Amino acid sequence: MSPKMVTPVEVGSVVEPALRIVWSDGHHSRYGWHALRVHCPCAACKGEWTTRRHVDPASIPSTIRPLRIERVGAYALRPVWSDGHSTGIYPFNYLRGDLCECEECAARRAAPSAP
């Protein structure tokens, strides 16, 4: 069996103060809109060859928020941002593994190397 990706069973609304995702394994994630926009994984923001890490946070207004969030295939979310940007496709494993702001995930990422 190929490994099944953890997928959102519930995605919060864009009118909430932050993005809220409940995952298929029961985990709850929360993402600030500004941080989410800064970590946009699209080629325009990140560069085609992953040399730059992310866009300059100062260049993104603090009031940024998505107008809507679309699901992409079986694997990702695509926010359409208030600054007009919409090319970022955020795969579920990126959202869950790299961006989740909960204490548990932050601690895991801060550890030198996961066992």
Partner 1 sequence: MSASPPDRVRVLEALRDVQDPELHKSIVDLDMVKEVQIRDGTVQVEALLTIGACPLRDSIVASIEERLRSLPGVREVRVSLGVMTPDQRQALITKLRGGEVSAQRRSSFLTAESATRVIVVASGKGGVGKSTVTVNLAAALRREGRRVGIMDADVYGFSIPRMMGLSGQPTLIDQMIIPLEQDGIRVMSIGFLLPDEGEAVVWRGPMLHKTLTTFIGEVHWGDDLEYLLIDLPPGTGDVSITLAQTLPQSHMVIVTTPQVAAVKVAQRAAKMAEKVNMEVIGIVENMSGFRPAPGADPVYIFGRGGGLRLAELLGVPLLGEIPLDPAIREGSDAGVPIVASAPDTPAGRAFRQVAERLAERVPVPTR
Residue 3 interacting with partner 1 (CB under 8 A): yes
Residue 5 interacting with partner 1 (CB under 8 A): yes
Instruction: Compose the 56-85 pattern: x for residues touching partner 1 by CB under 8 A, - for all others.
Output: ---------------xxxxxx---------
Beta-bridge partner residues of 76:
72, 91
Backbone φ and ψ for 114, nearest 5 degrees, come out as -65, 140
In degrees, rounded to 5, the angle at the alpha carbon of residue 67 between the alpha carbons of residues 66 and 73 is 80
Q: Are 42 and 86 in contact (CB under 8 A)?
A: no
CB of 47 to partner 1, least distance (A): 19
Q: Which residues bind partner 1 (CB under 8 A)?
A: 1-5, 7, 71-76, 89, 91-92
